[in-house]
Amino acid sequence: MNRLDIGDLRAFDDFLRDRCVAIRSRLRDALSGRKLTLASARRSRVLLPMVGVYTPGWQALPACSWEFVELVTDQGLTATGEWPIRLDSPAIDALGRIAANPGTNLLDDEFEVPLFMAWWDLVGQVLEMPLHRLWADLFEVGFDPPGEVPLAAYSWPRFADAEGRDAVTFETWPAFAAGQYAEGYRTLKLSMTSYEPEDYVDLIRRIREAVPRDAEIRVDTHGTWNFSEARRILPALEPFNLSYIEQPINALLPGRFYPSGAGPANGGATGYQHAYYFRKLQELRGHTTIPFSCHWWTPPIVQPRGAHPMSNRWTFDWDLIARYDPVDIAVPDIGLGVFGLWRLLQMARFMGLHVTLHSNFELGLQSRFRAMMFSALGYYPEVGGIYLGTTPRLCMAMDTEYNQVRDDVLVGGKLPMRDGHIALGNTPGHGLGLDPERLEQYRYTEDRVRPHRDFAMRLYDNYVLDRPRRRTMAGWPKRPGTARDTRRTYPYDLTSILGIDTAQDVDVRLNT
């Protein structure tokens, strides 16, 4: 296979690394002489109902969990951070170190990584700037970042909740999509994993007919199509003007195929076969004009063993980049942190990739925080006229799953999505705080978990879709009757939210 000369990419990343060092130095200078000390740290785990039942990746979760930390300082400022499901060990360890050392300066950058959103919230408040404007200033983007960010409204088939509300079925999905457009969303993201692959040709056709032509439609198969299925189906989807298809195929071996603690020979701890997967993805790309995105090519990176993903110590996987060109759109997660995400997005644009941000498992605080990162680090301004320079029209609407959550614990409740956009506000930091009454209303307790767990187990024990599959996931003809899926794959073990003990493959990693 021919290898590309990528010396320009390596040189550009050297430049980006140097810029990160200089920007971090500027931030330290800005914070020099300032000190915030901890008066108290409040932890709150909540359980919030979903709209219908959360089902991507063959889940069945009528409610989901998040944990928050509020850092109350002796100087009168309070900062807030949000974690999916539970607080992670780096955050717990950091809070322990702070508690054991009274007088610790919370603005020390050793806390940037473990306390992430809360740390940046403090920094923004101390420097009296909303985070998107602070980052735009630090990274010298040269323009005032947008005050709102367009969203791609995620949807998938949904079981009705325990009260029989809010199901989304094969028949009703087009009307549901039309309702999302009527709410102001101009980009719709369709999670397509549950039905037979061929059924999606008819479904996308009906959704396209139900929404105006200016609606962008993107599709995520989560790797549930094999190569031959995708090669057969993609040409049939060409007439429907899809903006892109995410993860159209899967060529991964789950972690259970490898010895404990060991990954594939060419993958380390990433849990997938680099070369084969990207070779097949590039081959498939030649069979269609529909653009591709992929979690692992954003572009691909290699994290040092033991390094936190936000440490910005990673390198690009130059070997893969020199060999393959498999995608059109970079869709990273925010798990690389502010500096790592900026570096990745700059390289993606340098390579001519479209850019957006992947949805995370999130409530309103993280939704706004992500949008602030995209506004400052991924957007670039419109320029009129004919010119040579930055490739035009590469920014795409940001994915969101926030539309699938029924409520929130923020002051004022769930953030409004006006005309399909999320507003960033003008308050220093991320500008959001928690409502004590809502925290109590949705506090995570066994008594509140139990009815959701019982309802979820009834669904898991008889996982019957409104349009039953005609083949098993193994590919054999499926016998009539009920279905019991014994193994599911998703990047996170979400069943632990409700205390459900099920087998689930979780070695599929996002590019963090």
Of 31-45, 355-369, 473-487, give the lowest mean pLDDT range: 473-487
Model pTM?
Answer: 0.95
CA gap 512, 506 in Å, rounded: 15
What per-residue confidence (pLDDT) applies to 265? 41
pLDDT > 50? residue 499: yes
Q: What band does 264 get if pLDDT is binned at 50, 70 and 90? A: very low
Model confidence over 444-488: pLDDT tens digits? 999 999 999 999 999 988 888 898 888 887 788 887 765 566 666
**Mean pLDDT on 60-74:** 97
What's the confidence (pLDDT) of residue 242? 97
Average pLDDT, integer, range 24-28: 97
> pLDDT class for 253, splitting at 50, 70, 90?
low
Q: In sequence order, what are the beta bridge partners of 246? A: 220, 293
- The two three-digit tokens of residue 209, written as one number: 């007919």
Q: What is the mean pLDDT of the chain?
A: 91
| pLDDT above 80 for 252 | no
Q: What is the mean pLDDT of residues 238-266?
A: 72
Ordered by start, the domain boundaries in the chain are 1-382+391-512
User: Do the beta carbons of residue 460 and residue 469 sit within 8 Å?
Assistant: no
**pLDDT at 84 (0 to 100):** 92
Q: Distance (Å, rounded) from C-alpha 282 to C-alpha 276?
A: 10
Residue 266 has pLDDT above 50, yes or no: no
- List Cβ neighbours of 366 (8 Å cut-off, separation of 6 or more): 82, 84, 117, 360
Q: How far apart are CA 190 and CA 204, in angstroms?
A: 9
Angle among Cα 440, 418, 140 to the nearest 5 degrees reads 95
The CA distances from residue 501 to 53, 89, 455, 457, 487, in Å, are 18, 22, 14, 10, 11
Task: State which H helix or E strand residue 374 sits in.
Answer: none
148-166 mean pLDDT = 96
37 exposure class (CB count in 10 Å sphere: 0-12, 13-18, 19+)? middle
pLDDT tens sequence across 194-250: 899 999 999 999 999 999 999 999 999 988 899 999 999 999 999 999 999 999 998
The answer on pLDDT for 389 being more than 60 is: yes
Is there a contact between 354 and 394 (Cβ–Cβ < 8 Å)?
A: yes
pLDDT in tens, 76-91: 999 999 999 999 999 9
Q: What percent of the chain stands above pLDDT 90?
A: 76
pLDDT of residue 269: 40
pLDDT at 418 over 90: yes
pLDDT at 250: 80
Segment 427-445 shows an average pLDDT of 98
Residue type, position 85, single letter: I
Predicted confidence at residue 386, as pLDDT, reads 67
Instruction: Count Cβ neighbours within 10 Å for each residue of 91-114 and write b for 16 or more, e otherwise.
Output: beebbeebeeeeebbbbeeebbbb
Q: How confident is the model at residue 72 (pLDDT cuts 50, 70, 90)?
A: very high
H-helix or E-strand spanning residue 122:
helix 112-126
Average pLDDT of span 86-106: 97
Mean pLDDT of the 53-68 span: 91
**Angle at the Cα of 163 (from 85 to 493), degrees rounded to 5?**
20
pLDDT of residue 503: 65
**Residue 21 one-letter amino acid:** V
Give me the CATH code for the 1-382+391-512 domain, please: 3.20.20.120
pLDDT of residue 504: 66
Q: Look at residue 325 and give its three-state secondary structure.
A: coil
Q: How confident is the model at residue 69 (pLDDT cuts 50, 70, 90)?
A: very high
pLDDT at 268: 42
- pLDDT of res. 507: 57
Give the model confidence (pLDDT) of 175-197 as tens digits: 999 999 999 999 999 999 889 99
Q: What is the pLDDT of residues 295-316, one digit of tens each?
A: 889 999 988 888 999 999 999 9
Q: Please state the φ and ψ torsions of residue 173, each to the nearest 5 degrees.
A: -55, -45
Percent of the chain with pLDDT over 70: 90
The two structure tokens encoding residue 7: 């010396």
